[in-house]
Structure 1
Amino acid sequence: MNILITLLLFLLPVLLLLSWRRRGSSRKLPPGSLGIPIIGQSIGMLQAMRTNKGEEWLRERVGKYGPISKLTLFGKPTVFIHGPAANKFIFYGDSSMLANKQPSSIRAILGDRSLFELSGQDHRRVRESLMSFLRPESLKQYMGKIDEEVRKHMELHWQGKEKVAALPLMKILTFNIICSLLFGMEEGAEREKFLENFQEMVEGMWSIPVNLPFTRYNRSLRASSRVQDMLEELVQEKKVKLEQHTATPHQDLITCLLSKHNEENERVVTDKEILHNIMLVMIAGHDTSSILITFMLRLLYKNPAVYKAVLQEQEEIAKSKTSGEPLTWEDLARMKYTWRVAMETLRMVPPVFGGFRLALRDIDYCGYLIPKGWQVFWASNMTHMDGNIFPAPSKFDPARFENQKSVPPYSFIPFGGGPRVCPGNEFARIKTLVAIHYLVTQVLVGVMFR
């Protein structure tokens, strides 16, 4: 009897281990192929994005594998997920499971201390510092400056022109607003040089990460280094001006971040974090607003009735102003229909194609295993253009957003959601509405639908 008990005690751990292994082996990876090591499906996806077929590429993948599949993107094994449940998992899920981690190729360009990379307390600390400048009550005081930049741009690049290239001009406008408002960098040779390097940096962010001379990625890395050098010099200048009391803590975003101190009088945000997050704000603020305004113009051109309603709303605001009087925060609040048009544009053409997270531990998701260390990839247009969520998704219909509560939860994510919602979404709203106001009341009126 004692021998039998001893034998059972010896075999029990072995049986438990075998049982655990059997259960572990049943945890299957999502369907799909990882493809060629390192490269995987990166080339195919990038080619699709450059030809505006990124959504089509992803839908073909969903049709083949379903709502979850594995692949390799930018050198790392990746799981692609989509749908409202996926959006909830990405933006509202447990932060101990997913980290906001970009591919190493993008991290090498933008730096490793931006909000794209930070998690937990570090993310909250830096985000709160950024929000102290970007929240609505802070941005109100800069309405005049934004209005001035938009007016100057319209007079220089749009008025009196028979033909214009909308997207490049919108990128110049949003860049100038960012430089003026966020960095205090006024017009001149320095801003032109900064723009040239910034554009070269952006061009290589979504490219094959091959760091060899003359590749787009290599040029982007070198441009990123030059941009950081220029920003570092700018930060040092701001430090000196703050010490000499010739600059104020809320003069621009840089002085705001430099002025943040904790109870021990220590700086809240480091110099490196300032540099990397300034670059992030530049990328986010530059592309999102310029793409949104450009496609709003395109969709207004194709929908005369919508254009007429926007024009009527904006003309009523213009009539309430004296000559040369800038727009105010209260004027923006009256642009309700115009912003619904912007929301519908964001649904159909989300400026951010998608993003990445990093699995911090093995995750069970929809019956599949997402292994620790793998990337998780999401794409915003997958729910935006889903006919089960938004009926007739290809139809441009601003009425969808008359009642925000009617929009299904976790389905409309142009600015993300939850604790990771874009901190610059209000800044984007201001730039968009001010630009559209002057475009439809001073530039396009009587021309667009002649």
Structure 2
Amino acid sequence: MHERLTHFREILRYVPRFRDRVFVIAIDGAVVEDDNFPNLLLDIALLRSLSIRVALVHGAAHQVRRYADLIKMTPSDVDGTGITNRETLNVAISAANRVTHEILEGLSANDLRAACPNAVVAHPAGILGGVDHLFTGRVERVDTELLQTLLERDIVPVIPPIGIDGAGASYRLNSDAVAVEIAKSLRAVKLVYLNTEGGVSDAKGVIRQMTVQEADTFLKRSRTELQPGAVTKLTHALRACKEGVERVHIIDGREQEGLLGEVFSNEGIGTLIYANEYQAIRAAQKKDVRAVYSLIQQGTQNDELVKRTRGELEKVIGDYFVFEVDRNAVACAALHVYPEQNMAELASVFVDARYENKGIGAKLIHFTEGVARSRGIANLFCLSTQAINYFIQKGGYKLGTPDDLPPARREKYDQNRRNSQVLIKSLG
């Protein structure tokens, strides 16, 4: 699968969206010691070659445990969430320094300039639940100007889970929490968590994507059944999305080309939590018939859509989605399902002329594809007379023939005689 995903032409479809934007990549300490880490660094080098700016945040829990075992000490905390005594802080600093150095070595080997800045200002977590957490800290602020300066000069910031206060005292931080603060400060378009457990799973396997609302509900319902690491990642992913980060990915950092497979495909290999940029999209209701009919009328005048009567539309309004601006429907799309063939048609995509060139059509298409995937649809098809190149070049569709259509849809196709191009997309 990943050979297809990482084919250069596949990647190029996404580059304009991400060029000069920031990805924050949070790497668990265990991933740094995995055999796949050199491949991961190659992926990061590719991102940089495509003018995607990258900031790295790393953990060190794995190394803290190992270092503590070597000196026969039991750490009071390993991941920056519990109580950190002086001995554990010293071990954490040594472990974090080692991980930082390994990352800097690896980046240098790939001709990437990097630096470890003192950009995270911390303060003590304090007394929580009546217990002094000693040298466990919280992020007070991020020196955004320093990080931006590095990024603008093509230097990759490498940020450890250690923060320093204004008096020069060090504190152990949770790297997942640090990654959220870094992503917020840099207005990152993506925050990617690389762990050794993979995406968030339920009884059916890895959950490929969830809105913030869905993830929130899932966490509340399944918290006791999830591994502690999954709870931590999901909790911070939710906070990141709620506080301005558009996309958060949770993936297995040990999987070869997993990073590229996740960020350069709609399907991905882990779990995507997304702040609902689709919040303006909702399922159409009976009250929307008039607005949707008006949009379709505009489309038929331009010969972009097949003409529908209002009565026909009322019967299938449940297949439609609308995009709202100030509570007014300004665009629509439909998903007509053919269960016997496990196929669905993406249809009636239209944006009011006043709202063209704002990416609304693309959001509707991506949203509708996500709905099809969530319903287990294997193949999506659409018919087009004027947007054929868009669907092929931007949407990942391939040219098909009328013979690819479900029988019921083929019959209608033959009747309308528009000679629309059939386009097919596998949803994997």
TM-score normalised to structure 2 length:
0.25
Q: Which structure's relative contact order is higher, taking Cα pairs within 8 Å and 6+ residues apart?
A: 1
The structure in which a higher percent of residues are strand is 2
TM-score normalised to structure 1 length:
0.24
The structure in which a higher percent of residues are helix is 1
